[in-house]
Amino acid sequence: MVNYSKMKNKNVIMGFCFFLFLLPSLTFAQEGGEDIYINQLGFLPNVEKIASVHAVDEGDFLIRRTANNQIAFSGQLEKAAYWKSSGEKILIADFSKLQEEGEYYLEVPGGGKSSKFTISKDCFKNVLQATSKAYYYWRSAFPITKEFGGEWNRPLAHPDTVVFIHPSAASKKRPAGTAISAPGGWYDAGDYNKYVVNSGITCYSLMSAYEFSKQSFNSLSMNIPESNDYTPDILNEVYYNLKWMMSMQDPHDGGVYHKLTTANFAGEHMPHKVKNRKRYVVQKTTAATLNFAAVMAMSHRVLKKDYPKFADQCLLAAEKAWAWAGRYPVTFYEQEELNKKYDPDINTGAYDNKKLKDEFAWAASELFLSTKNNEYLHHAMNYYKTIHHIAVPSWGNTAMLGIYSLLNNRESIPLSDRKEFHILNRKLLKMADALVDSYLKSPNRTAFGNQEAHFKWGSNAIAANQGMLLLQAWILTGKQMYYDAAYSNLDYILGRNATGYCFVTGFGNQNPKYPHHRISAADGVKEPVPGLLVGGASNMKLPAFQFPSKYSAKRYQDEYKCYLTNEVAINWNAPLVFLISGLSNNF
């Protein structure tokens, strides 16, 4: 085992004080920036550095040092192009040749000034810490103390040591009303319920981030209660949720309950002040069981060194879940139908996926890698050879996750077993090439934001997942264009977008103050919990709101009740953690 505990211990001593010192500086107000879209945190030294300008038709730009206003770089704005998604003519300021570390701002004569930004090899260290630590603040059944949570401290809530079998989940050995214990895990999003399906892709993305960027995470202290041990903090945090997921498996047959929930969403209250609400585990489903099987099989590999006994339990549970899914391949979660049959009605998040061939392929891929049983590989490859289109990953489409895992672990697989892996490679690169093409042709010079389909609910997570895919392509090929396109999407999330927002709470010149997050709304603290990625601009409709523009890239509202654009969710933060760590660790 690599001994990096000294690095962590040293950081833990300083971590909390440094984080409290950091936050005020991250939310400073500055003049200017409305006419210049730029990554508000900064840039790594040797990467492409782009700003988007829309206040002028042509001209030059200057990069000045904030310390003395001296010019550090000058250049000419590239010819304007019309960005259909924002309804604006965009000119590109390219200052990639500026690599000297320091603090700067961009000025366009007659077009204003940008917010300040840094060029530094550590420019994303604090936002990586915060987006990773967000999961600590999402913990259920755990007291968030002042020592680790600062002003966002709160008492333990939802211990979930007594939750009830909902009639939809009843079985002979666990009839309706049976009390079981299922403590721990993360609140899913802005609400206080816990969902296996969404936990699946979240845990996968975080463990993948660790495997992709071990150097970053081995020395990163998130200042959580486990920071003094020998295990990377990001794995400690994933372990906290995996233990809860393990409790959601019925030990008698291997099926997995879809979610742990109250009958209805709670109001705008702190979790410990939500009184007298019974919590239930609801129907076992194929989707939940396959997500569980995939993540537990992966956990067997990733956690083997740090949690060996638990890792062995994970593999046994994964195989038991796979067997259940094979017996019940079409047990879907249909909330409206369940509510016609059973009481009480359940009206919380559904995660109601009915297309599960991709989940079977993902689970089979992970099980193959952990068991080397070729039956699992054959199942996965039979699917991947026949499927024509694979989407960027989401909780409802997980096919690409199996491809990532198989390709990233290809060196551990005998040549005879990976003779058809060129199929996987081709499918991944086809998607990556399309994103690079989007990036190169984009008036905003970002891979994201050039199609209406990008601006769905949770558009920022789409941008982050695109970046994750592009980094996978970069590692496979070593081609810089994939890295640059991935970096462009981080630029987008951190400020180079048509709203002018850095979409991560607590960071940048202009950031969300009112995320759809019950804790941030009810805790009495001026600033929201830091490190949360909000959903972002959306072309979907929300009748109660009038958005500031008809253009999709501008349709964002920083209001608590505007869940369409300001929701937060565990599965949205996770690919951002991957993207930040992957770009920073490997630049």
As annotated, the active-site residues are: 558, 567
How many other C-beta atoms lie within 10 A of the C-beta of residue 161?
11
Rg (CA), the chain: 23
Long-range contacts of 538-542 (CB under 8 A, 24+ apart): 538/455, 538/456, 538/457, 538/459, 538/564, 538/565, 539/452, 539/455, 539/456, 540/455, 540/456, 540/457, 540/564
Distance CA 366, CA 373 (A): 11
For the residues of 232-294, what is the DSSP string, one character each?
-HHHHHHHHHHHHHHHTB-TTT--BEEEEE-SS---SS-GGG--S---EEEEE-HHHHHHHHH
- How big is the chain, counted in residues? 587
Type of residue at 290? L
* d(C-alpha 107, C-alpha 102), whole Å: 16
| Residue from 121, 156, 152, 131 nearest 233 by CA | 131
Kindly report each contact of residues 243-246 with a partner whose C-beta sits within 8 Å and lies 24 or more positions away, as own/partner.
243/184, 243/185, 243/310, 244/140, 244/160, 244/182, 244/183, 244/184, 244/185, 244/186, 244/194, 244/199, 245/185, 245/196, 245/199, 245/203, 245/292, 245/295, 245/296, 246/296, 246/313, 246/314, 246/317
Between CA 375 and CA 586 the distance in angstroms is 35
Q: Regarding beta strands 50-53 and 163-165, do their DSSP bridges make them parallel or antiparallel, or are they unpaired?
A: unpaired
Q: Which amino acid is at 281?
A: V
Pick from 477, 417, 430, 401: nearest CA to 211 = 401
Q: How many whole angstroms separate alpha carbon 358 and alpha carbon 402?
A: 9
Question: What residues form DSSP beta bridges with 281?
Answer: 165, 260
Say how many C-beta atoms besides its own lie within 10 A of residue 99's C-beta: 14
For residues 79 and 42, what is the distance between their CA atoms, to the nearest angstrom?
24
Cα three-residue angle 74-75-81, rounded to 5 degrees:
145
10 Å CB burial of residue 419 (0-12, 13-18, 19+) is exposed
Identity of the amino acid at 95: F
Bridge partners for 541 per DSSP: none
Tell me how crowded residue 316 is: count the other CB atoms within 10 A of its CB: 12
Q: What is the DSSP letter of 74?
A: E
The whole-angstrom separation of Cα 98 and Cα 312 is: 50
Query: Contact 292/246 with Cβ under 8 angstroms?
Result: no
